[in-house]
Chains A and B, each alone.
Chain A
Amino acid sequence: MGLIEFKRVKKYFPIQRGFLESIFTKEKTFVRAVDDVSFSIAKGEVLGLVGESGSGKTTTGRLCVRLIAPTDGQILYEGKDIAKLHGKDLRLIRRRLQFTFQDPTSSLNPRMSIGNAIADAMRLQGIGTSDERKARTEEILERVGLSPVSTFYNRLPHQLSGGQKQRVVFARATILNPEFVVTDEPVAMVDVSIKAQILELMMDLKKEFDLTYLFITHDLATARHVCDRIAVMYLGRIVEVADRNRIYDDPLHPYSVGLMKAIPVPNPKVKSEAVLQGEIPSPIDPPTGCRFHPRCPKAFARCPVEEPELTDVGEDRQVACHLYS
């Protein structure tokens, strides 16, 4: 059993319409951001969630920590369904689940010192006295490498570099001793030269706090470096889940194949290829059957008619494609 488990989770966002339109048409339209997604993450694992923009990666991440409630389905955390929690129960569970957002600059209040921003997480949960919170904040600042602590404590976000801000974000996410952290594109906004530094910090924190990660990224090379398993998402669905080496060396789903081939490898001898045509369609009215069929080079008669289920194909990997069922 995994630490966190998704069972047929759906998240539909209703589309706002004008008053007249809502009178004349009864039918409601939705953005199907996450549509029937099931997966599980084992304790201590790093699961990478990859896919193009608009595939539903971030929505899945937000569902994991219950920033939003699912439309349907179960989200099991240690076997307990957290999909419908609210109020005090939800606040208590959120201590154990944390989220770091893509852009560290907009994640931090520009008028709040970083020390206060970090300590605020404890205050909101009603933990400790103000002196205790300060002591704990200093400890965590030291831990994420923002020393001397006394000078960093009172700094404002604009006085920090992008890498340092990302450290503050991680400090704030770990101060409550969480068990599970969703991290959304943690290195997309930082310079190449310090990417490795942030990734190492993430891995150090994982060891120290015994964390489990859901690592959301569109950078497939980085995902291979840090994740244990990779889930590929396309248009609100998971199309393939496999061990990090298998999915890169031997991808099965035609979409995974196209993704892997498109990665620009920093080696002029390994040529990348654009095998996939077109772009990801709208999640408002996704294609019938397999959502990938209009772009799939291997599509056949069954694909536009029947939606493939994510099925086990052995070696601990799952694929949602008619070619393998």
Chain B
Amino acid sequence: MTDLLKIEDLIVEYKTRRGAARGVDRISLKLQKNKTLGLAGESGCGKSTLGRAIINLVPHPGKILSGNIILNLDEDVPYEGGIISTGEVNIPYLGEKEMRALRGKEIAYIFQDPMTSLNPMVSIGSHYVETIQAHEPDVEKEEALERGSKMLESLGILAERIKDYPHQFSGGMRQRVMVGLGLVLKPTLLIADEPTTSLDVVVEAQILREMAELKEKFNLTMILITHNLGVLAQTADSIAVVYCGRVAELASTEALFEAPKHPYTQALLQSVPDVTKPDKKLTWIPGAPPDLTHLVPGCVYNPRCPHAMEICRSVQPPLIEVDDSSLVACHLYGG
């Protein structure tokens, strides 16, 4: 199996007045073609920062400090003034022009809030025309609109609604428009950041199903960022549980839900209500995620961990392979 994306020792740092906060702290991940990787964790754990780093759009004052994000291209990508040739490219080392060619065309990103991601002053059609022409300037407006309407149709929106404006759509429809905008250039990698968080269950289930169908159709590889473990259980092939910018556990979805290994994963799963288990005793994680500018030494989870040992307070556990399907960063599992 080829890896579409390899992240190696990535560090993303936010410089703040109170000191540097690492939104991503030495994360290494691999993503196989046509798979869905889920990123889970509490708010502020670095899920979105990691996603944004992949398109090299970490919000100010964040910066990729070191590490590699290697994307494997299977075709040449032309850009203003050159061509990025087939093969591996290292994203943090690309220039802005090259990056602009990759964004949208190779890597699409669906942002969290469908309400603010669309421009209220222009029609849905113009959004599609702009997106398509930015990457394929030779495409005529009519053809771009045609492609846009086809995209909308495959997402269950009537083709003629391409003339409408964002305010004429409901939240679910706007999110569909966003998904369509992300996919209209047939990217290879789709990063979806909380794509269904503001939606009702029925619409959420519809959009997740449509995304799964389009993933098949376009041979997509996906990174799904969400705090909703239920959504991940339904859609992801593997899941990385992120805590304080570090991967606590990386496992296949089955393994993660069947036998979570890291105490943080266990606690997180224990806090999620499960409609099929009404008598499940819900618990919560004591304390709050720490201030990223002042991290404790050793394992970052140790102040909240019920199994914390002496070693956890001094030595940071490495992410090691515990069995075929899981990698865990915890002293309970050797190392």
A and B interact: yes
Which A residues fall within an 8 A CB radius of B? 52-53, 161, 191-197, 199-200, 218-222, 224-225, 244-245, 248, 258-274, 276-277, 279
**B234 adjacent to A271 (CB under 8 Å):** yes
CA distance A213 to B180 in the complex (A): 42
Which residues of chain A are within 8 angstroms of B173 by Cβ–Cβ distance?
279
Q: 21 interchain pairs (CB within 8 A)? A: A53-B171, A191-B227, A192-B227, A192-B228, A192-B271, A195-B284, A196-B283, A221-B272, A224-B278, A225-B278, A262-B205, A264-B230, A264-B231, A264-B233, A265-B275, A265-B276, A266-B257, A267-B276, A272-B205, A272-B208, A274-B205
**B234 adjacent to A193 (CB under 8 Å):** no
Determine the residue in chain A with the shortest Cβ distance to B229.
A266
B285 within 8 A of A: yes
**A268 adjacent to B202 (CB under 8 Å):** no
Distance in Å: Cβ of B292 to nearest Cβ of chain A: 15
CA distance A320 to B72 in the complex (A): 56
**A279 adjacent to B203 (CB under 8 Å):** yes
**B201 adjacent to A262 (CB under 8 Å):** yes
Distance in Å: Cβ of B298 to nearest Cβ of chain A: 21
**A265 adjacent to B273 (CB under 8 Å):** no
**B282 adjacent to A225 (CB under 8 Å):** yes
Distance in Å: Cβ of B128 to nearest Cβ of chain A: 22
**A264 adjacent to B228 (CB under 8 Å):** yes
What interface size band does chain B fall in?
Answer: 35 or more
Q: Which of B161-217 contact A (CB under 8 A)?
A: 170-173, 200-206, 208-209
CA distance A151 to B272 in the complex (A): 32
CA distance A16 to B278 in the complex (A): 45
CA distance A258 to B206 in the complex (A): 11
The 3 closest A-B pairs by CB, nearest first: A264-B230, A196-B282, A262-B205
Which residues of chain A are within 8 angstroms of B269 by Cβ–Cβ distance?
266
Which B residues fall within an 8 A CB radius of A? 42-43, 156, 170-173, 200-206, 208-209, 227-231, 233-234, 253-254, 257, 267-269, 271-276, 278, 280, 282-285, 288
Which residues of chain B are within 8 angstroms of A191 by Cβ–Cβ distance?
42-43, 227
**B233 adjacent to A265 (CB under 8 Å):** yes
Determine the residue in chain A with the shortest Cβ distance to B201.
A262
**A268 adjacent to B257 (CB under 8 Å):** yes
Distance in Å: Cβ of B228 to nearest Cβ of chain A: 7
Which residues of chain A are within 8 angstroms of B204 by Cβ–Cβ distance?
262, 264
CA distance A273 to B282 in the complex (A): 25
Distance in Å: Cβ of A277 to nearest Cβ of chain B: 8
**Which one, B42, B170, B230, contacts A263 given CB within 8 A?**
B230
Distance in Å: Cβ of B254 to nearest Cβ of chain A: 6
Which residues of chain A are within 8 angstroms of B206 by Cβ–Cβ distance?
274, 276-277
Distance in Å: Cβ of A150 to nearest Cβ of chain B: 21
Given that A262-B205, A265-B230, A267-B233 are known contacts, is A193 also in contact with B268, CB under 8 Å in the complex? Answer: yes
**Which one, A161, A192, A268, A277, contacts B233 given CB within 8 A?**
A268
Distance in Å: Cβ of B167 to nearest Cβ of chain A: 14
**Which one, B170, B171, B201, contacts A218 given CB within 8 A?**
B201
**B282 adjacent to A279 (CB under 8 Å):** no
Which residues of chain B are within 8 angstroms of A192 by Cβ–Cβ distance?
42, 227-229, 268, 271-272
**B271 adjacent to A196 (CB under 8 Å):** yes
Given that A193-B42, A264-B233, A279-B172 are known contacts, is A52 also in contact with B274, CB under 8 Å in the complex? Answer: no
Distance in Å: Cβ of B83 to nearest Cβ of chain A: 42
Which residues of chain B are within 8 angstroms of A224 by Cβ–Cβ distance?
273, 275, 278
Which residues of chain B are within 8 angstroms of A245 by Cβ–Cβ distance?
278
Residue of A196, A268, A272 contacting most chain B CB atoms (<10 Å): A268
CA distance A52 to B114 in the complex (A): 18
Determine the residue in chain A with the shortest Cβ distance to B272.
A266
Distance in Å: Cβ of A170 to nearest Cβ of chain B: 16
Determine the residue in chain B with the shortest Cβ distance to A258.
B202
